[in-house]
Structure 1
């Protein structure tokens, strides 16, 4: 995490009185907002125990857990309306227009895919559920939808790494709003026909749903071959987004391995 971003978060959560520095009954200064936010970010980023940073930051386990609870609540209250939200109708129309110009895919909301995220501190009892044979170590799956401008507007994280695309999709929250009749409606026109539901570019393993567009497996005609090339080129959006996440993780943790499928 960049220093400017970290300080922005610290200054924002400092509006909560819990994170402000106080004095105890003996007049001794308490923990600063920097100390409290540092222990929380380290716990979230490294998966460390609550008492792991007692010697380094002089914060006991109970205080670390309380910092984590209040920090999470403050982040949701301060940034939830802007960052932790689904696309609005305006956002969807912008995505449709952008992808039509960039990829010649009218009605495209984004590319859907997932990647494995290594879980170094996975408990031994859980490793069987979180390890897949081709990965060799416990992983957690991140499912995401990314647009051409690297906006990851859907992220579903936490599925055990032993699952495949279908299992992840069945547990995902991507289509919950639409199934409950609360999904955002979009409109676009293709070949003089009007549609009210956008679609996602996916690979072959996903089911044949109306909201998914795959490329032909073995096209023989020129039209099918061209569509396959364009579809796979447009799907590079999600691969590029995963590449950005991998690069940022490598900067923080040093050389490591992250896998897409």
Structure 2
């Protein structure tokens, strides 16, 4: 994993900073990283970038019911990865209000912080709704291939799972939003529980950045396809660690990676 702690290619002087550690040249170390990333995806991609199976879904539903949300399959959100060496012709398409071009990762995370349905590549100027329109996260549901699930809420039986979201997303049957301005004990309790569980995906993004410096820092590679492979390899390694440490999960300090809250949203610290 040491190769993923740096990400210099076109910037040769920065790549040369690892010469003494690796005892090889900067160009050679970059080629090694590329082969490493390709190998990780080829050997482990099918297992650790898989869609949720019936067994996975059953476990997620049990976790959701314990958390107070029967039928919940995780939480969904987006993360922006700054692209420092974005080609000039694309900068207008990828540059956010912050003035820096970014590439977006949309993903679902469960309570154990396993990252499901990663969708990487949309330009940073798109908002969550635009990215959702392009995302394949609901393809199986639309084509009738989604695993079946059954759960009961308030005496009513349902067969379609759902995700927890923030207020940016549309009001679909597969989404459960918080209550923006809760009035009374029950709405306040619901908003508090929803905010706590929804932060699974934000913590997942934070730990992904805390583990891999290449994702924490701006991408310096020009080739977007190669950047996408690096992101997939990091997600695979992250999910491998989650599987290995699921029962004794390592806690990381991810405060510096937390996404800012939208104004007017109920904030819950935990």
Q: TM-score, normalised by structure 2?
A: 0.69
Q: How far apart are residue 221 of structure 1 and its match?
A: 2.7
Listed one character per residue, the Cα deviations across residues 231-258 of structure 1 (whole Å, up to 9, x for unaligned) are 1111121121111022123488679986
Measured in 2, the distance between the counterparts of 1:48 and 1:180 equals 41
Are 1:236 and 2:181 an aligned pair? Answer: no
| Structure-2 separation of matches of 1:213 and 1:58 | 48
Partner secondary structure for residue 46 of structure 1: coil
Q: After the TM superposition, which residues 101-140 of structure 1 pair with which residues of structure 2 at under 5 Å, given as runs?
A: 101=66, 103-133=67-97, 135-140=98-103
Match of 1:179 among 105, 121, 142: 142
Q: Please report the RMSD computed on the Cα atoms of aligned residues, expressed in angstroms.
A: 3.3
> Do the aligned partners of residues 75 and 58 (structure 1) sit closer, same or farther apart at CA in structure 2, a change above 3 Å counting?
closer
2:7 counterpart residue number: 46
* Bigger Rg, structure 1 or 2: 1
- Corresponding residue number in structure 1 for 2:176: 213
Of residues 40, 57, 63, the one that matches 1:98 is 63
Instruction: Give the TM-score, by structure 1 length.
Output: 0.71
Higher-RCO chain (CA-CA 8 Å, sequence separation at least 6): 2
Unaligned stretches of 5+ residues in structure 2: 17-23, 220-255, 261-270
Gaps of at least 5 residues in structure 1 are 3-37
240 and 127 in structure 1: CA distance in 2 versus 1, 3 angstrom threshold: same
How far has the Cα of 1:115 moved from its partner? 1.4
Number of corresponding residues: 215
The one of 186, 208, 211 equivalent to 1:245 is 208
CA distance in 2, matches of 1:259, 1:122: 24
